[in-house]
Chain A
Amino acid sequence: MTKQYLLTVRYFFPMMLLVLLLFFLWQGLQRDPLQLPSPLLNKPMPTFTLASVENSKKRLTANMFFGHVSLLVVWSSWCVNCLAEHAFLLNARKDSRLQIIGLNYRDRLLSARHWLSQYGNPYYKVIFDPKGLLGMNLGVSGVPESFLLDEKGIIRYKQIGPLNEFIWNTEIEPRLGG
């Protein structure tokens, strides 16, 4: 009787293995494997010396991030999704708790200027990075991307993809403090 029973049970082994596998797959689905914390998180802003989009003779450096909470937004004139977050940024400019700084990434100077005059300029200053050098140091994988820096110029948060009301309320607002 027991032998017969054991013989029957063994046919259920594949099923049990499947259940185990499904458990792990199910748990795995709840996580995002790409969501690695950025290595730059809680690190200071990489140093750079780049021209400004508004005035090509003016040099901008990482010093501009000191003394102010800043939101660094990576954008390009050829990027369709940047337009999607643009209206939101124009609105967010009114918030006096932070300065919004643009990083114009892999773009032409004239198209960048034209884009800003056409759609409005939400930025306090815009860094011109035609070869994507600063972008590379920041680990930018696509546009738009945004970084939130505290008044000491330390990166506190990174957002991949366009900003919106929801991300602002859940991720940015709590980090701004008072």
Chain B
Amino acid sequence: MTFYYLLLVFSFLVALLQCVIPLWGSFWQRVSWMQLAKSMAWIQFLLLAIVFFGLGLAFFNNDFSLLYVAQNSNSHLPWLYRVCAIWGGHEGSILLWVFMLSVWTVAVSLSSKKLTLPTLAQVIAVLGFISAGFLLFLITLSNPLMTTVQIIMEGRDLNPLLQDPGLVFHPPLLYMGYVGFSVTFAFAISALLQGRLDREWGRLVRPWTLSAWCFLTAGIISGSWWAYQVLGWGGWWFWDPVENASLLPWLTGTALIHALLTLEKKELLKTWVILLAILTFALSLLGTFIVRSGILVSVHAFAVDPWRGIFMLGLLTLIVGAALLLYAVRVQHFTVKPHVLPIFSKEALLVSNNILLSVAAFTILLGTLYPLVIEVLGLGKLSVGAPYFNRVFTPVACLVLFFVGLSYLVNGTQTKVMQLCTRSICLLAISIGTSVLLLIFFTHGLQWKVMLGLALALWIILNTLYVIWRSKKLGLRQILQTRGAMLLAHFGVAVSAIGIILSSTYSVQRDVRMTVGDSVQLGVYRFILQSVYDLQGPNYTGAEANLQLINATKTYLKPQLRYYPVSNIALSKPAIDIGLWRDLYVALAEPLNDNTWALRFYAKPFVRWIWMGAVLMLAGGLCSIVQIKSKK
């Protein structure tokens, strides 16, 4: 393992050179120095790949002489989880972070044909700087390759919550997203260093931002899905600090994508785009910091060495502080055209979108850090829960929905105001009417909040349909080629909104105690507890209940209660009957005596739509990348 550690130290040195040499080269205009950037990036990637592979091998072979392996794995763990346990703990997830960074760096150097040499050199140098910071952290305070002299026969096991297929996808996707924004960040720094920002820059940066955004979206979807089906709490979003930490860069990243579009088309919002690029990456770093320093109470936080927190805070200060200082000094050098925005134009809408998303991000940041601020000021301990976030987030979200729908009606820079008003009033009236009818027909009631939300979602869908219908003259194909990605992503927003509104309003929950043979009624669904039997897994024991759903399909649901003896944790693994219109969700809570069990039932209408919509947004992002690539 000393070999791998040496490689890690070596890659730190390479990262330092990768930062210094190309940067000097770009200042003194030495072409040969700048050209070194690419090879440095490759060397660093290869070194980190070997280290990463080596650690994976140690996990696979149950090499408990490595402290990190002993703390996060166990020989009874299935091999896939054993390998993925690389990122199950603190040290390994930082290693994953750096490895992802080197993947992105290599990706930049691979598609470098359109970049000028100084830009390429500066971008890779900035990425090298970030990488060097994290590698220094790895080789000093957070070494995943630490060996132990004690002979450890058996590992402490991976946290049972992490023993799920979610572990395989969620952290790498999320980190790819977080780290991906470093590329946009590096481009922003390069623009500041050169004091030049034009449409071409926007065109170059947008695919990078979109890719990072897509990964982050996929990461958030997988995380939310994982929480839904593992934690047994029946929710899909808990406004937990760590969840918020991933939502923050997502919101500003979404704003950034739209701002870049404006920059590309009209050469507007230059200083704002740069600031947003810096902030998005800063929030990604902050997310990593919050998760990995244990500063806030969260389901994700683990107790850690205080020095680690201090180091990471220092790194955050250095990277973001330097960037913002550079921003303050250099951003005035950009040439800004005086420009008046007409109120009813695409650009005005994009600006309003940016304002709304920034406000949303700011309120969430405020809520997340509020307990910390209160504690630091000595005003006591408190936690900010879902009610705050729901209350502040909902109005902003409603406005976002409204503007998304409106964006279809506004085409070009200037639209006839009268025409716009009549069209939007017509469509709004239709969507409100449909919403009222649907609610009265299906729920025999009318809650005005639900009605409003549903109407806004329908308003987006109607607008989408209207665009497609109107496009018959222009040719559907052309519309889909030019605006398909946007239509898809915005349609996804509507689908998610419907899922969120309906599932959070009309979910039914029941906690019951049942003996074998009992049946329970949940809304229109009826379950019978057929049997409960013992369960023997590879590294856990427990019980499994067999419930039958009394309906046409006679579905069986088998929720489990697992006990992991090595880490002394009991975990309820719910059973879910998946459906397009509703999910039925059963969790086995705890034995009350030999035959009686506490169970929790949920019926969640439309919950699947939340993820479906998010996947559509993701597809929209991917389409957009394809569009940009195919245009070239």
Bound form: Cα–Cα A28–B290 in Å: 11
Q: Interface size for chain B: under 10, 10 to 19, 20 to 34, or 35 or more residues? A: 35 or more
B289 adjacent to A15 (CB under 8 Å): no
Q: A12-B328, A14-B324, A27-B376 are in contact. Are A33 and B316 (CB under 8 A)?
A: no
Chain A contacts with B in 75-130, Cβ cutoff 8 A: 76, 78-80, 106
Chain A contacts with B in 12-53, Cβ cutoff 8 A: 12, 14-15, 18, 21-22, 24-29, 31-34, 36
B566 adjacent to A11 (CB under 8 Å): no
Q: A14-B328, A142-B568 are in contact. Are A25 and B295 (CB under 8 A)?
A: yes
Bound form: Cα–Cα A78–B381 in Å: 36
B309 adjacent to A29 (CB under 8 Å): yes
Bound form: Cα–Cα A125–B369 in Å: 47
Bound form: Cα–Cα A106–B565 in Å: 9
Q: Is B550 an interface residue (CB 8 A)?
A: no
List the A side residues contacting B328 at CB < 8 Å.
11-12, 14-15
B372 adjacent to A28 (CB under 8 Å): yes
Q: Is B279 an interface residue (CB 8 A)?
A: yes
Question: In terms of DSSP, what is the predominant structure of the interface of chain B?
Answer: helix
A29: contacting residue among B279, B293, B317, B321, CB under 8 A: B293
Q: Which residue of A lies closest to B70 (CB)?
A: A80
- The 8 A CB mask of B262-300 against A (1 = contact, 0 = none) is 000000000100010011001000000100011111000
Q: A76-B568, A142-B568 are in contact. Are A26 and B294 (CB under 8 A)?
A: no
B297 adjacent to A25 (CB under 8 Å): no
Q: Interface size for chain A: under 10, 10 to 19, 20 to 34, or 35 or more residues? A: 20 to 34
- The 8 A CB mask of B316-352 against A (1 = contact, 0 = none) is 1100110011011101100000000000000000000
List the B side residues contacting A33 at CB < 8 Å.
294-297, 301, 375
List the A side residues contacting B282 at CB < 8 Å.
18
Q: A29-B309, A33-B294 are in contact. Are A15 and B376 (CB under 8 A)?
A: no
Bound form: Cα–Cα A26–B376 in Å: 10
Bound form: Cα–Cα A22–B285 in Å: 13
Q: Which residue of B lies closest to A26 (CB)?
A: B313
Q: Is B437 an interface residue (CB 8 A)?
A: no
Q: A11-B328, A14-B279, A14-B327 are in contact. Are A106 and B376 (CB under 8 A)?
A: no
List the B side residues contacting A143 at CB < 8 Å.
568
Q: Is A8 an interface residue (CB 8 A)?
A: yes
A60 to chain B, nearest CB (A): 22
Q: Which residue of B lies closest to A106 (CB)?
A: B568
Residues of chain B at the chain A interface (Cβ within 8 Å) = 156, 271, 275, 278-279, 282, 289, 293-297, 301, 303, 306, 309-310, 313, 316-317, 320-321, 324-325, 327-329, 331-332, 369, 372-373, 375-376, 381, 565-566, 568
A-B contact pairs, 22 of them (CB 8 A): A7-B332, A14-B279, A14-B324, A14-B327, A15-B321, A15-B327, A18-B317, A21-B369, A22-B316, A22-B317, A25-B289, A25-B313, A25-B316, A27-B376, A29-B295, A29-B309, A33-B294, A33-B295, A34-B297, A76-B568, A80-B156, A143-B568
Nearest 8 interchain pairs by C-beta: A27-B376, A11-B328, A15-B324, A33-B297, A28-B372, A12-B328, A29-B309, A28-B295
Given contacts A11-B327, A28-B375, A78-B565, 4 further A-B contacts (CB under 8 A): A28-B376, A29-B309, A29-B313, A80-B156
